[in-house]
Structure 1
Amino acid sequence: MSNSVRDVVVIGAGIIGTMSSYLLSKRGLNVAIVDADALGSHASGLAFGGLDPLHGMGLPEPLLDFSLHCFTRHQDIARELRDVTGIDHHFQTRNRLYLAFDEDDVRQYDTSLAWMKDVSMFDVGWVDGDDARRLEPKVNPACVGAMYQQGAASVDAYNLTLAAARAAEQQGTELVPQRATGFKSRGSRVDAVTFADGQVNAGAVIIAMGPWSQLIADWCDTELPVQPLKGQILRLRYDGPAFDVALNYRGNYIDTKPDGLVWTGSTEEEEGFDATPSATARDVIWQNAVQMAPDLGKAELVRQTACLRPVTPDGMPIVDRLPGWDNLYVATGAGRKGILWSTGMCDIIANMVMQGDVEVAGAEHLRVDRFARV
């Protein structure tokens, strides 16, 4: 690889790295993805894959327009990737019930409904407890009502990452199974990404390393405010009927996935870079699941996963060219919204690399210099 030259070198083979590589290679650039780990072997491949642009950090302001852009792009890219690769990442509409068990929950949802009802892409309204159970009979009898959101979606996050990588490869992207160790630079330009036994020369470099993006502080004297947030998910075998709608309550969720298993989670743990599943998390997740759907107390645990999501202090991603550098870019920090936001983040970064502008609604809120403002 010592004589190899690429228009763009992307460090990281998660959803951001693979999707941005696909978009850039489709536009004719010569791209390489550098990562010693397997495709989607971290958060991108283990994520639940929910696509709900109305809930999460930065919503409704300042990221509603950005989130809606991301959701619409998923609809387009789902068809495109399936046609190009033959890999089905199971994009499907999944309506959701956000359950309420007391008056505090009801008041919280009333606040959300006040603005969500005006988002034309979705039909969001209130149902009482009986109607919630008609929509999903497994809902806890103690549920007093729910916010019913029609039009959200979900994907198989691993297959999405795999499809993006395969599509990129078909456009000429090379996967380089090496661990990046640093940069070679001249002045304000990065010339190469180095690894233990070589390097790959680059016209531009994109950092898409999830929480490990903070490592570039040692490579280019730039501090990125990105930390790992551990999240754990249970995959359950449940002998009853599949869930007709996804259930949500205070950051927890339940849904039947295309693999036939019921997925439920997720935790938010500040445990550094420890990605070990724990019995404590298992018990908490299962308890929360049983509160939403008591029948899951009879389910069988098939698999417990843990991954490290990249998060920033304000919960919103960083997608930008790094200050002081002409050709060094970063896209990370999407936390629990990484799969949803991946399409918009990659649109932004691809536009920056190709033409210097952005043309994606809300991109101005994702600049890295927001953390330097007083």
Structure 2
Amino acid sequence: MTRLAPSSPGSGDDCLVVGGGLIGMLTARELALEGWRVRILERGEAGAESSWAGGGILSPLYPWRSPEPITRLAIWSQRRYQALAEQLRAESGIDPEWYHTGMLVLDSGEGSKARYWARDHGLRLELPDNERVAKLEPALGTAPGDAVWMPEVANIRNPRLVRALRGSLDHLGVPLHEQTPVTGWLKSEGRIEGVETESGRFEAGCVILAGGAWSGNLLAGTRVSADIRPVRGQMVVFRTTPDRIRRVLLRHDHYIIPRRDGHVLAGSTLEEAGFDKTTTEEARRQLVRLAVSMVPALGNAPVERHWAGLRPGSPEGVPLIGPHPELEGLWLNTGHYRNGVVMGPASARLLTDLLMGWPTRLDPSVYAPAPAEV
């Protein structure tokens, strides 16, 4: 693989990042810290799509069910997230609110599988009895009967995380152009040399596509196997008092996430609705009902907000990270589906190592984009 490196002073941008969500901003930050001149182009508002809308659990749901490539990225990131949050706070003045709560899974029915998975990956995991569960989370209703306790799991407050990242990029001098949708690629003899936008042309030594749910549209016709589509998720947030709920709770593929200030998120739906971000009353009722079934006290808590976001759905949720198989100069970091927050730091570091031509911390072959079948 040809090594890319920062260009000489005055020669323009080293790299364009298409997409100003969490993945794009993390990638741009890693490159900027290595001395690259990076520019981000965002179709809307930076960090305002799935990066803002998600819950921020720093673990896959039922992680022992995840494909191994997801697990590798997640564990690498988990071990570094607290330090990253502290760095972002120092650079931006905004606290992303990394919050060590642990996660209680209340319905897995897979205790043995979970225990072996944790042992194989060097992670702490317990199979608590009902008395222990009640002590871990007194706000629970009926005893689950079959629980998994993951004490190392934390969560982070997505809106504050993306604001802190934006502040870090400002601190590092990374330009970020909002309301600048990319409309096409600048090509020369099979190489991508920049992009066309509604605001004009941008040229650079390489282009990284980190466009989330919109990546599939931009990759259409480029002869790469990239089944990335929008998958709508709706969530609600309750207003309660601090420490009303102590743990991230998971049951029936739905979760409850406590924040430090007492807000409690409940999510999430999985809906094939295209690019429609409309919220529905049916989903609101479902989310409230499931949340109250886990924590009865939420029945007396007001729902402060209800919103929807679009995840970048991909086969099995394994992201594409690496060079486009046919277009030189185009690199991908996209398709993270439900786990963009927890996989983000590792994904950004992996792509940066590949661009630098350095040894990678993780095997890149399992994330490498493949040519489309013809």
Q: TM above 0.5, one fold?
A: yes
Match of 1:231 in 2: 233
Q: Provide the secondary structure at the position in 1 that maps to 2:354.
A: helix
Q: Provide the secondary structure at the position in 1 that maps to 2:147.
A: strand
* Amino acid aligned to 1:64: T
Summarize deviations over 1:128-153 as a string: whole Å, max 9, x none: 22321122112122422421111111
- Alpha-carbon shift at residue 370 of structure 1 (Å): 8.5
Match of 2:18 in 1: 11
Alignment partner of 1:354 out of 336, 353, 356: 356
Q: Provide the secondary structure at the position in 2 that maps to 1:5.
A: coil
Provide the TM-score with structure 1 as the length reference. Answer: 0.90
Change beyond 3 A, Cα 1:273–1:148: same
Q: Provide the secondary structure at the position in 2 that maps to 1:50.
A: coil
- Alpha-carbon shift at residue 184 of structure 1 (Å): 1.1
Match of 1:179 in 2: 181
Change beyond 3 A, Cα 1:144–1:57: closer
Preserved CA contact (<8 Å) 2:64 2:113:
no
Alpha-carbon distance between aligned partners in 2 of 1:12 and 1:327, rounded to the nearest angstrom: 16
Aligned length: 364
Alpha-carbon distance between aligned partners in 1 of 2:290 and 2:279, rounded to the nearest angstrom: 17
Match of 1:198 in 2: 200
Alpha-carbon distance between aligned partners in 2 of 1:80 and 1:239, rounded to the nearest angstrom: 28
Preserved CA contact (<8 Å) 1:236 1:261:
yes
Change beyond 3 A, Cα 1:48–1:187: same
Preserved CA contact (<8 Å) 2:187 2:194:
yes
- Alpha-carbon shift at residue 297 of structure 1 (Å): 1.9
Moved more, 47-56 or 152-161: 47-56
Alpha-carbon distance between aligned partners in 1 of 2:228 and 2:77, rounded to the nearest angstrom: 22
Percent of aligned positions that are identical: 27
Alignment partner of 1:90 out of 78, 85, 97: 97
- Alpha-carbon shift at residue 326 of structure 1 (Å): 1.7
Q: Provide the secondary structure at the position in 1 that maps to 2:181.
A: coil
Q: Provide the secondary structure at the position in 1 that maps to 2:164.
A: helix
In the alignment, structure 2 segments of 5+ residues that lack a partner are 1-9
Q: Provide the secondary structure at the position in 2 that maps to 1:80.
A: helix
Summarize deviations over 1:317-337 as a string: whole Å, max 9, x none: 111210112210111111111
In the alignment, structure 1 segments of 5+ residues that lack a partner are none
Alignment partner of 2:287 out of 285, 288, 300: 285
Summarize deviations over 1:81-124 as a string: whole Å, max 9, x none: 12222221011211121113xxxx43x2332122224543x421
Change beyond 3 A, Cα 1:304–1:274: same
Match of 1:146 in 2: 147
Match of 1:78 in 2: 85
- Alpha-carbon shift at residue 175 of structure 1 (Å): 1.1
Match of 2:4 in 1: none
Summarize deviations over 1:334-363 as a string: whole Å, max 9, x none: 1111100000111111122222x5513243
Preserved CA contact (<8 Å) 2:139 2:295:
yes
Alpha-carbon distance between aligned partners in 1 of 2:279 and 2:64, rounded to the nearest angstrom: 25
Match of 1:264 in 2: 266
* Amino acid aligned to 1:174: P
- Alpha-carbon shift at residue 53 of structure 1 (Å): 5.5
Alignment partner of 2:247 out of 245, 256, 259: 245
Higher strand share: 1
Q: Provide the secondary structure at the position in 2 that maps to 1:123.
A: coil
Preserved CA contact (<8 Å) 1:85 1:166:
yes
**CA root-mean-square deviation:** 2.3
Match of 2:71 in 1: 64
Structure 1 segment 41-60 matched on structure 2, within 5 A: 41-52=48-59, 55-56=62-63, 59=66
Q: Provide the secondary structure at the position in 2 that maps to 1:308.
A: strand
Change beyond 3 A, Cα 1:145–1:129: farther
* Amino acid aligned to 2:128: V
Change beyond 3 A, Cα 1:15–1:295: same
Preserved CA contact (<8 Å) 1:217 1:223:
no
Q: Provide the secondary structure at the position in 1 that maps to 2:331.
A: strand
Alpha-carbon distance between aligned partners in 1 of 2:242 and 2:183, rounded to the nearest angstrom: 50
Provide the TM-score with structure 2 as the length reference. Answer: 0.90
- Alpha-carbon shift at residue 223 of structure 1 (Å): 5.4
Change beyond 3 A, Cα 1:63–1:321: same
